[in-house]
Structure 1
Amino acid sequence: MKTQTASSSTAVALANPWSMVPPVGNLDAYITAVNRMPMLTLEQEQQFARELRDQNDLEAAGKLVMSHLRLVVSVSRQYMGYGLPQGDLIQEGNVGLMKAVKRFDPEQGVRLVSYAMHWIKAEIHEYILKNWRMVKVATTKAQRKLFFNLRSMKQGFKAEAVEAGSDTYRHSLSDAQVATVAQELKVKPEEVREMEMRMAGGDVLLDPTPSDDEDHAFGPIAYLADVNHEPTAQLETEQRERLATEGIAEAMRGLDDRSRRIVTERWLNVNDDGSGGMTLHELAAEYGVSAERIRQIEVAAMKKMKKALAEYA
């Protein structure tokens, strides 16, 4: 009777693989549900894989995926120590499983569980590297291999220290341990040191926002910023210098001799303390006109120069 019931539930699940996944619920409910999914026999797996390959049967693909969801849950537990939600790890692993199902060839002589393992781990690895730190700690293939193996090897060294009865454990690798890791993973010892340093480091906000407890938050932006070499500031400085030299000289060439001398004596021959230039009355006595007339000529010349400078800029 029990055998018939089990066979019946298996048949229902294979006919509609989505029927055993709850529409809502938490992560524990999901894990419980996928662990109840029936495993496929070799014959069933090959049959569904051929239907997907030859007929693009999406229902067959769904059966292959659903029967291996428990594998993704099992693999995700191996990466719980990175501080990332298991639900996200499972989700990324499921993406890898679907990619594996799409590419699986039943004629290769291997089970889907063996073939899918690589794809599941690859997607989880990519997710961890993207989200474990704001800045990637590993970019090349060798660095990725070192990243995921170094953590497990360090845990092994810690276990060996505990078994040996050591009261203290060094969080950083010793020279002998670095040499062991480098030899086993076929990398240079300095690469092991660099990766260990990257993994030990944390993220620091470039420009932290002050909180209630810390009104004057201090971040790297305070000592990394260099306004003197900021591109926009440099362009503005170059433009001001060009206007102060070439621009003014060009604008002065558009004035008549009297206006040019008045502007020169009133504005260009003045010292930093404001002394050295001729007054309106001194220029008025030189040209035999009133001081008001000199002021009017000066105002007209300045307007003409401003227009010339605007065109030059």
Structure 2
Amino acid sequence: MKNIKNKVLTSGFLNIGSLDTYVRVANSFPMLTEKQEKSLLNKLFFRNDIEAVKLLILSHLRFVIYIAKNYSGYGLPKADLIQEGNIGLMKAIRRFNINFNVRLVSFAVHWIKSEIHEYVLRNWRIVKVATTKSQRKLFFNLRKKKRLGWFNTDEINIVATQLGVTQREVQEMESRMSTQDITLDYLPNDVNCDYVSNRNLMPTIYLEDKKSNFALDIEQNNWERHATHKLSDALLILDERSQQIIKRRWLYQDHNKITLQSLARDYGISAERVRQLEKNAMKKLKLAIEA
């Protein structure tokens, strides 16, 4: 265990730049004996020792790298696969029960694979290729069984029986996995890509929104702001009571719009008098706005 601590201090592990260097340093950390592992787990669970967590992680990085290599056929960056596996390892350490009669790596392998699976499903295609439990099972199993050409009826039946899914689900997943993402942009002439000839390239397509008129929208917004300012200035020429009548009758939200009778009760005047005040105020506002 002391050797692991020395490695952390002398390797500059946190400053590693290349993947090869990372793998080399990760493999240089010695594996723990069962006794050492139990000691570190006890420190973690009974004392919440962060140093113990660090040593547990470092001593198991080699296993994450080994598992991540099995997913290299998906065309995803190996560094990202390892990183996702490391997240799974850390989750496993936090969830491991010291009463389990197994080594940590036996428990962690499922968490490591789970995180890598999620990463693969999110990034293998632009659109997520599998969402349900059956689709996820099919995706990873068909990747192992897949060969050139499509499955025949007998092979579909065998796969469906082995995985406990329907034949239709097998056919649908096979179809999804046989498609490829297509770029919609032309590549520059000076870019040398070997895979270009195998892909369908399409010109960039711009869809016209015929319902939108930016000039009209901007003009409308400017007019609304102008009208709002004019109305605000015009209200200032009214006396306070007239202002309140106009605001409560016309400028508040519809569900708060007050009646002539309510205003009459509030001001102690007749509803007809409120109507007259409102009419006179509206005339003054019209003249002020049109001026």
| TM-score, structure 2 as length reference | 0.63
SS at match of 1:135: coil
Structure 2 partner of 1:275: none
1:175 matched to which residue of 2?
153
Deviation, structure 1 residue 210: 4.4
CA contact (8 A) 1:39 1:67 kept: yes
**Kept after mapping to 1: 8 A contact 2:89/2:112:** yes
Corresponding residue for residue 97 of structure 1: 89
CA contact (8 A) 1:17 1:62 kept: no
What's the counterpart of residue 197 of structure 2?
none
Aligned-partner Cα distance in 1 for 2:137–2:203: 32
One-letter code aligned to 2:53 = A
Residues 18 and 148 (structure 1), Cα distance of their counterparts in 2 relative to 1, 3 Å cut: farther
Residue of 54, 59, 82 corresponding to 1:62: 54
Mapping of 1:78-227 within 5 angstroms?
78-154=70-146, 158=147, 170-205=148-183, 208-211=184-187, 218=202
**CA separation of 1:61 and 1:172: change in aligned 2, threshold 3 A:** same
* Structure 1 pair 171–115 and aligned structure 2 pair: CA distance change class (3 A): same
CA contact (8 A) 1:92 1:127 kept: yes
Q: 1:64 to 1:108 in 2, by over 3 A?
A: same
Partner Cα separation in structure 2 for residue 88 and residue 51 of structure 1: 30
Partner AA of 1:193 in structure 2: Q
* Equivalent AA in structure 2 for residue 204 of structure 1: I
Structure with larger Rg: 1
When the two structures are aligned, how many residues end up with a matched partner?
A: 203
1:87-140 deviation per Cα after TM superposition (whole angstroms, max 9, x unaligned)? 111111011111111111121111100010011001111111111111000011
The separation in 2 between residues aligned to 1:212 and 1:61, in whole angstroms, is 49
Q: Is the 8 A contact 2:130 2:136 kept in 1?
A: yes
2:174 alignment partner AA: E
Q: Compute the displacement of 1:11 (Å).
A: 2.0
Q: 1:201 to 1:219 in 2, by over 3 A?
A: farther
- Counterpart residue number, 2:4: 13
Work out whether residues 21 and 30 of structure 1, in 8 Å CA contact, stay in contact via their aligned partners in 2: no
Q: Which amino acid aligns with 2:185?
A: T
Q: 1:73 to 1:59 in 2, by over 3 A?
A: same
- Is the Cα contact below 8 Å between 2:186 and 2:203 reproduced in 1? no
User: C-alpha separation between the residues in 2 aligned to 1:219 and 1:193?
Assistant: 32
CA contact (8 A) 1:20 1:37 kept: no
Alpha-carbon separation, structure 1, partners of 2:25 and 2:132: 38
Q: Distance in 1 between matches of 2:145 and 2:4?
A: 41
Say whether the 8 Å CA contact 1:34–1:66 is kept in structure 2: yes
Query: How has the CA–CA distance of structure 1 residues 19 and 148 changed in structure 2, closer, same or farther, with 3 Å as cutoff?
Result: farther
Contact 1:82 1:132 (8 Å CA) reproduced? yes
Residue 129 and residue 204 in structure 1: after superposition, are their counterparts in 2 closer, same or farther (change >3 A)? same
Partner Cα distance (1:196, 1:39) in 2: 41
Q: How large is the RMSD of aligned CA atoms in angstroms?
A: 2.6
> 5+ unaligned residues in a row in structure 1: which ranges?
1-9, 159-169, 237-313
Flag the 1:111–1:17 CA change in 2: closer, same or farther, 3 A: farther
Q: Deviations over 1:248-292 (max 9, x none)?
A: xxxxxxxxxxxxxxxxxxxxxxxxxxxxxxxxxxxxxxxxxxxxx
Provide the C-alpha distance between the structure 1 equivalents of 2:120 and 2:9, rounded to a whole number of angstroms: 28
How has the CA–CA distance of structure 1 residues 139 and 219 changed in structure 2, closer, same or farther, with 3 Å as cutoff?
A: farther
